[in-house]
Amino acid sequence: MEKIPYTNTSIYFDDSFSSLVKYIDLDFSNIFLIVDSIIYDLNPKKFYEYKNILVVESVEDSKSLTYLDTLIDKLLLLGCNRSSFIVGVGGGVISDITGFVASIYMRGVRFGFVPTTLLSITDASIGGKNGVNFKGIKNIIGTINEPEFLLIDFSFLKTLSDFELSNGYSEIIKHACISSNKLFSMLEKAEIAYKKNSFKEILKDSIKIKISVINNDLNEKNSRKLLNFGHTFGHAIEAKYKISHGEAISLGIILATNISIKFGYLNDNSAITRIINLLNKFNLPTDIKCYDKESLLYYITKDKKSKGKYIDFVVLNNIGDAEVKSILIDKILDE
Ligand SMILES: NC(=O)c1ccc[n+]([C@@H]2O[C@H](COP(=O)([O-])OP(=O)(O)OC[C@H]3O[C@@H](n4cnc5c(N)ncnc54)[C@H](O)[C@@H]3O)[C@@H](O)[C@H]2O)c1
């Protein structure tokens, strides 16, 4: 196990799930696990000792106020109180719900995550953003509240499908695009398989990029917005076309890169080809022809990043170098 330094959350990298109780230091009866249903079915023995387990299906519909009602009801029935500890074990759906419910239940209960997808390890479980969807708009209700710890146990990843592995790579590629030419080159040379030696190094680099961006700007006043690269269109595509987060972000990265070129920020002609090749290498979609920008307008104007007619849009100056620009929404759509 290696502890990745981070001010607000202890990150136990390459640890074992069996260490969980040690980090919480409470009796099993006071620990409440919110567990992805697939993870629970695949690893029943890991959960034997736990008394309070809420099994949740990881679908976007679980990220709703209606479903939170059910969850809060169960927590009350099981006797979860202000001295309890809630742990989310699963992917981004589970960490989003767990972080939100733990933040509002009894005005806040201690919580941590055991991320089990690549996407949640490298992105969703880091940084304290949590929340649910409302009327089809992604993550529009939530809080910023960081977990006490992340316990990353790679044995969970053995059962992750190739599709979900690819989804995770979209956020890793995003981190490389906004902040590290070195990570981008490592990814160009790497193999997709999760067992390869380079895999953990790539993950560690990706996590460190996210941490360093957040450390500079916890409340998303400024530099943290860089993490939204590819997400303005990505979230809109995800909401409208009901495709996976990773696929939508991949398409959002292409659209944002094209806009960076058209607005004159990105002048290196080889960059878009390298980005397309890298996304394709990890089996992520890059063909944006069937995604009409105009029809995504509704979702873009409802985006948390929009301010009336303007939106904070992340543009690339180069691979590894991005910045936030306030851009007229109409102008983006004209391009
Ligand atoms: N809060 C944030 O900062 C943030 C950032 C990025 C994404 N998100 C959110 O995260 C969600 C996507 O997260 P995700 O991609 O992890 O998806 P997910 O949580 O839906 O998991 C994807 C699928 O993999 C299954 N699964 C999970 N772990 C598994 C394992 N080890 N083996 C086999 N199957 C496993 C799940 O049951 C599910 O079917 C979206 O709702 C997105 O909005 C949040």
CA of 118 to the centre of ligand 1 (A): 8
Residue 85 region by backbone torsions, left for phi larger than 0, else alpha for psi between -120 and 50, else beta: beta
Is residue 220 scored above 70 in pLDDT? no
How far is residue 145's CA from residue 234's CA, in Å, rounded to a whole number?
24
110 is known as an active-site residue: no
Best residue for ligand 1 mutational test, from 119, 122, 125, 166 (most atoms within 8 Å of Cβ): 119
Q: Is 124 in the pocket of ligand 1 (CB under 6 A)?
A: yes
Share of the chain above pLDDT 90, in %: 73
Torsion of CA 195, 197, 198, 203, to 10 degrees: 60
Return the residue whose CA atom lies nearest to atom 14 of ligand 1.
Answer: 92
* CB within 8 Å of 276: residues ≥ 6 apart: 254, 286
Give ∠ CA 247-328-224 in degrees, rounded to 5: 55
The pLDDT of residue 32 is above 70: yes
Q: How confident is the model at residue 156 (pLDDT cuts 50, 70, 90)?
A: very high
Tell me, in angstroms, the distance from the centre of ligand 1 to residue 92's CA: 4
Amino acid found at 207: I
Tokens of 311: 């939106």
* Ligand 1 atom closest to Cα of residue 156: 31
CA distance 271 to 274: 5
Ligand 1 centroid, distance to 161 Cα (angstroms): 12
State yes or no: is 220 an active-site residue.
yes
Cα of 91 vs centre of ligand 1, distance in Å, is 3
Is residue 234 classed as helix, strand or coil in its secondary structure? helix
Looking at the predicted structure, is the pLDDT value of residue 306 above 70?
no
Average pLDDT over residues 212-236: 84
For ligand 1, atom 6, the nearest C-alpha belongs to 124
- Annotation marks residue 171 as catalytic: yes
Whether 228 is catalytic is yes
Q: Which has more confidence, 71 or 310?
A: 71
| Domains 2-159 and 162-334 agree in fold | no
More confident residue, 215 or 144: 144
pLDDT of residue 335: 59
Beta strands in the chain (DSSP E): 2-4, 10-13, 31-36, 52-56, 85-90, 110-115, 129-134, 137-144, 149-152, 306-307, 310-318, 321-328
Ligand 1, from 164, 169, 249, 299: best to mutate by most atoms within 8 Å of Cβ? 164
Q: How far apart are the C-alpha atoms of 86 and 35, rounded to whole Å?
A: 10
**H/E segment holding residue 152:** strand 149-152
* Prediction pTM value: 0.91
Q: What architecture (CATH level 2) is domain 2-159? A: 3-Layer(aba) Sandwich (3.40)
Residue 149 has pLDDT above 80, yes or no: yes
Q: Where are the domains of the chain?
A: 2-159, 162-334
Q: How many whole angstroms separate alpha carbon 130 and alpha carbon 143? A: 6
Q: Which atom of ligand 1 is nearest to the CA of 94?
A: 19
CATH of domain 162-334: 1.20.1090.10
107 is catalytic: yes
In this structure, of 84-88, 89-93, 272-276, 329-333, the range with the lowest mean pLDDT score is 329-333
Q: Whose CA is nearest to atom 5 of ligand 1?
A: 124
* pLDDT digits 0-9 by tens, 34-72: 999 999 999 999 999 999 999 999 998 999 999 999 999
pLDDT value at 193 more than 70: no
Q: Residue with the nearest Cα to atom 12 of ligand 1?
A: 92
Read off the amino acid at residue 114.
Answer: V
Give the ligand 1 atom nearest the CA of 138.
43
User: For this structure, is 235 an active site residue?
Assistant: yes
Count CB neighbours of 231 within 10 A: 25
C-alpha closest to that of 287 among 250, 328, 333, 326: 250
What is the predicted pLDDT for the residue at 194? Answer: 62
- Structure tokens, 151: 């316990």
The answer to whether residues 206 and 172 touch, using CB atoms and an 8 Å cutoff, is yes
Q: Please give the pLDDT value at position 176.
A: 98
Return the beta strands (E) in 20-104 as ranges. Answer: 31-36, 52-56, 85-90
